[in-house]
Amino acid sequence: MSCNWRGQCYNFSMYKKILAAVNEFTNSELAAHYAITLSQSCRAKLFLVFIAQEGINKNAFKQAESALERLFVEADGRGTEVESITEKGEPLQKIHSMVKSDHIDIVFTSTRREDVTKRFFVKTLAREFMLKLPCSVAMVRVVRMGKMHPKDILVPLRGEMTHLEERACFVAKLAQGFGSSVTLFHSARPITSFFHGEVHLKPSLRERHIPKDVELFTECLDRYTITHEKRIEYGGISRAITIEAAYRRNDLIIMGASERSLLRSIIRGNPVEEVLRETPCDLIILRPRHEHQ
């Protein structure tokens, strides 16, 4: 806990215990790299966990074990307190009980390409984790191997957000860990009038329309002395985010989990789901659970 000159105190090391769920797929291993960096940056204890489901084949088991071993060596080499756990059973149940018993702050899980082809991720383990684990969850979609150190992280922000402190902490700690710069991005609905259609605003005027929560988030981020730039664009949210990431050659996108209900998602679409499908770089969807302290 740190306090600023105004006497306001913030929990700068929100994450004390981090769990990364690993399996036989490479993207879970790559996702766990983000967990290692966050653990190192937060000086948190890292739990590398492989839950072998019933009927898993021998090769897959071996793959997962090797991944666990490689990750352990890497985390240990980076001076992180790390524990490697292999158990048999249902991943959700097992990890749920670990989160409870070990007071895990955040779980890293990965999602595969075939998960994102399912509408609203129904019946995917990643979605179950997001909805049912009693801690923060970072769902990682790895689209590209080989880029281990994001140079610039794109952080799309909604106009209204909760858990600003935790979001800022997560972004800042990862950025610190990778030595990355951060681009805060807000995609707003275009300003329109009935007769004039879409009103074009120059960037200098756009800044006046930045929502309050984005400003608050920036304030939170400023406490971590992270280099950041702010951009505001108009248009469809998901399309604006993916274009921005492709155009700016961002290496990682960190965005909040969808708060839209299933019905609203069916009617109005779900930007998070759309970004997951079309992201040009790795993507972390964060569902924060830590309240502001």
Contact call for residue 69 and other proteins (CB under 8 A) = no
**Beta strand extents in the chain (DSSP E only):** 2-3, 9-10, 17-21, 45-52, 82-88, 106-111, 136-141, 152-156, 181-188, 192-193, 197-198, 228-234, 252-256, 282-287
27 binds other proteins (CB under 8 A): yes
* Minimum gap (Å) between residue 261 Cβ and other proteins: 22
CB of 40 to other proteins, least distance (A): 15
179: left (phi over 0), alpha (psi -120 to 50) or beta: left
Q: Provide Rg for the chain, Cα atoms.
A: 19
Question: How remote is the C-alpha of 92 from its chain's centroid?
Answer: 19
The minimum distance between CB 67 and other proteins, in angstroms, equals 8
User: Minimum Å distance from CB 230 to other proteins?
Assistant: 10
Grouping H, G, I as helix, E, B as strand and the rest as coil, residue 186 is strand
| Residue 90 · residue 51 · CB < 8 Å | yes
Cα separation, 63 vs 60, in Å, equals 5
Binding other proteins (rule: CB under 8 A), the pick from 235, 257, 260, 265 is 235
Half-sphere exposure of 255 (CA within 13 A, CB side): 28
Which of these, 46, 164, 49, lies nearest to 105 by C-alpha position?
46
Stretch that binds other proteins, among 100-108, 124-132, 158-166, 191-199 (CB under 8 A): 191-199
Q: How far is the CB of 273 from other proteins (least distance, A)?
A: 11
Q: Is residue 231 part of the contact set for other proteins (CB under 8 A)?
A: yes
What gap in Å lies between CA 65 and CA 50, rounded to an integer?
8
Nearer to other proteins, 51 or 71 (CB): 71
Contact map string, positions 121 to 150, toward other proteins, x by CB under 8 A: ---------------------xxxxxxxx-
> Between 207 and 215, whose beta carbon lies closer to other proteins?
207
CB of 205 to other proteins, least distance (A): 10
Interaction residues for other proteins, span 199-228 (CB under 8 A): 200, 202-203
Q: How many residues bind other proteins (CB under 8 A)?
A: 43
Collapse the DSSP code of 89 into the 3-class scheme (helix H, G, I; strand E, B; otherwise coil) and give the result: coil
Which of 10, 12, 13, 26 contacts other proteins by CB under 8 A?
A: 26
Select from 100, 113, 118, 292 the one that contacts other proteins (CB under 8 A).
Answer: 113
Instruction: Show the binding pattern over residues 273-292: x = contacts other proteins (CB under 8 A), - = does not.
Output: -x--xx-xx-----------
Among residues 58, 75, 61, 60, the alpha carbon closest in space to that of 20 is found at 75
Residue 239's contacts (CB-CB under 8 Å, 6 or more residues apart) are 274
List interacting residues with other proteins (CB under 8 A). 24-27, 29, 59-60, 63, 67, 70, 112-114, 142-149, 194-198, 200, 202-203, 229, 231, 235, 239, 242-243, 246-247, 249, 274, 277-278, 280-281
